[in-house]
Amino acid sequence: MRTIKILHGLAFASTLGIAAGLISIIPFNPVSWVMCIALIISCTLQIVYLLMVDESEFECALRKREMYAFCVLAIIIAGILATKDSVHSVPTITVSIAKNACFWLTLFELYLFKRIYTFVNKEDAPAPDTKQKEEAEKPKHVVKEAIKRKWTKFTLSSAERELYSLIGLLSVKKEILSLKNVILAQNKRVAAGLPPVPMSYHCVFTGNPGTGKTTVARIVAQIYKDLGVIEKGHLVECDRSSLVAGYAGQTAIKTNEVIDKALDGVLFIDEAYTLARSDGQDSFGQEAIDTLLKRMEDDRNRLVVIVAGYTDEMKKFIDSNPGLSSRFNRYIEFPDYSVAELFEIFRRLAIKQKLEFSVDFENALKALLQHIVTKADRTFGNGRGIRNLYEKTLVNQANRLAQKDYGVSELLKLLPEDLPSDY
């Protein structure tokens, strides 16, 4: 409540300054005019503060509706009085009403001060048991944390902005938004003193290579951090070679070292299905899985695991082990990019280098992309493949320009013959 007390104190001081100018104790211009602006600013900040903090967190008799009513009235009155001597002055009768209302406003402020400094009477509440007393003695949520929690409802975090800026992946974005809403509801339950609903934050990302699984995993880690699921929000990437050793007994040590680096963050295992062979003869991979499952249980409040790979292989991998299937129940499918999305990826790469497309180049590129998508199989790299295509195009452009003396303008133009012919 310290913030609301400070803001309301500034508003009260501003109102007194305005009133002093109205009765000519001090000159209205510029002193009281400045006080009008100060009152508008302080009341606006109070409204913003009230929007972001739950009323349940107030430990006094103040209610949001009372403060909202005061702030709106104060802003209107201060706005009228600030323009009373300007060229675009409001009608005289309106100014007169505002002058009288200004003095009544001070009484309203004093009433609110009384409410702010009056603590809620809890004597009639039933006596809490020992556990409830311990919970009551715990420190309240820091105001900054409460504001941050509320503010996420009105603005996008940097991680969410990065997610929505990705090309395509509409179904993935919808799944991540749904996951975020679940976490917000969970946080709301905890803040209200309700028991949390047991839930798993581990995910299975399925899809072909180059569809953005690693990028989205990094974004999800940051969203988890912003929402308080994990403390640090860093992402540790690994694959089979990072977890499995070549000698018996060494895999557990190696796997534990990788997991230790991922604590308070997200462990991302790419091509996780390679840890378990279908014939069940991979003892090293099974040792890594057993170690991972144990640490997921022991460090369940500090570790989130995201596994990724081809759709069919990942489903078989998860279903093959009861421990995995019980911990991974959230599947997010990453679809292949369309021709239009692949073209947009190429275009954005070119824009970063300030390259220009001619109409002929655009048509040739779209035709090439259509051919690539038509013959693509599961080994096609999607976004990664387009980056390779872009780099080969720049190599072809450089080889073409090397045969003559060229200027900067030619360096910034891509021609149809720059596109590789081996796709």
CATH number, residue 185 = 3.40.50.300
Domain with residue 401: its CATH number is: 1.10.8.60
Question: How many whole angstroms separate alpha carbon 274 and alpha carbon 316?
Answer: 11
Strand pairing partners for 270?
A: 308
Are 67 and 210 contained in the same domain? no
8 A C-beta contact, residue 231 and residue 262: no
Are 175 and 257 contained in the same domain? yes
Strand order in the sheet with 235-238: 235-238, 265-270, 303-309, 203-207, 331-334
Are 15 and 110 contained in the same domain? yes
What residue numbers bound the domain in which 378 lies? 339-418
How do the pLDDT tens digits run along the chain, 423 residues long? 677 788 888 888 888 888 888 787 887 778 888 888 888 898 898 888 888 776 656 667 778 888 888 889 989 988 888 887 665 666 778 888 888 888 888 888 888 878 777 765 444 444 545 445 444 444 444 445 555 555 444 456 788 888 888 888 899 999 998 888 889 898 888 888 888 888 889 999 999 888 899 999 999 999 999 888 999 889 999 999 899 887 777 889 999 999 999 999 999 999 988 888 666 567 788 888 989 999 998 988 899 999 999 988 998 888 888 888 888 888 999 999 989 999 999 999 998 888 888 889 999 999 999 988 888 777 777 888 889 999 999 999 899 888 888 888 888 888 889 898 876
Question: How many whole angstroms separate alpha carbon 354 and alpha carbon 351?
Answer: 5
Question: How many whole angstroms separate alpha carbon 284 and alpha carbon 247?
Answer: 8
Are 369 and 246 contained in the same domain? no
Q: What pLDDT sits at residue 412?
A: 87
Q: Could you tell me the CA-to-CA distances from 81 to 7, 41, 71, 91, 135 in Å, in that order?
A: 21, 15, 15, 11, 49
Question: How many whole angstroms separate alpha carbon 366 and alpha carbon 342?
Answer: 9
Amino acid at 346: F
Q: What pLDDT sits at residue 39?
A: 87
Q: What pLDDT sits at residue 123?
A: 42
Q: Is residue 148 part of a domain?
A: no
Domain-ending residue, one of 312, 334, 356 = 334
Are 367 and 381 contained in the same domain? yes
Q: Is residue 373 part of a domain?
A: yes
Nearest to 332 by CA among 185, 221, 175, 131: 175
Are 343 and 324 contained in the same domain? no
Q: Where on the phi/psi map is residue 166: left (φ > 0), alpha (ψ -120 to 50), or beta?
A: beta
Are 312 and 397 contained in the same domain? no
Are 376 and 349 contained in the same domain? yes
Domain-ending residue, one of 301, 316, 334 = 334
Pairing verdict, β 356-357 and 413-414: parallel
Does the reported pTM lie above 0.85? no
Question: How many whole angstroms separate alpha carbon 225 and alpha carbon 160?
Answer: 12
Are 323 and 227 contained in the same domain? yes
Q: What pLDDT sits at residue 267?
A: 94
Are 270 and 296 contained in the same domain? yes
Q: Is residue 70 part of a domain?
A: yes
Q: Is residue 151 part of a domain?
A: no
Three-state SS at 198: coil
Q: Is residue 133 part of a domain?
A: no
Q: What pLDDT sits at residue 172?
A: 92
Question: How many whole angstroms separate alpha carbon 69 and alpha carbon 30?
Answer: 27
Buried/exposed 137-169: b ≥16 CB within 10 Å, e otherwise:
eeeeeebeebbebeebeeeebebbebbeebbbb
Q: Is residue 345 part of a domain?
A: yes
Question: How many whole angstroms separate alpha carbon 55 and alpha carbon 319?
Answer: 46
Q: Is residue 259 part of a domain?
A: yes
Domain-ending residue, one of 334, 360, 382 = 334
How many domains are there within the chain? 3
Q: What pLDDT sits at residue 57?
A: 60
Q: Is residue 143 part of a domain?
A: no
Are 356 and 230 contained in the same domain? no
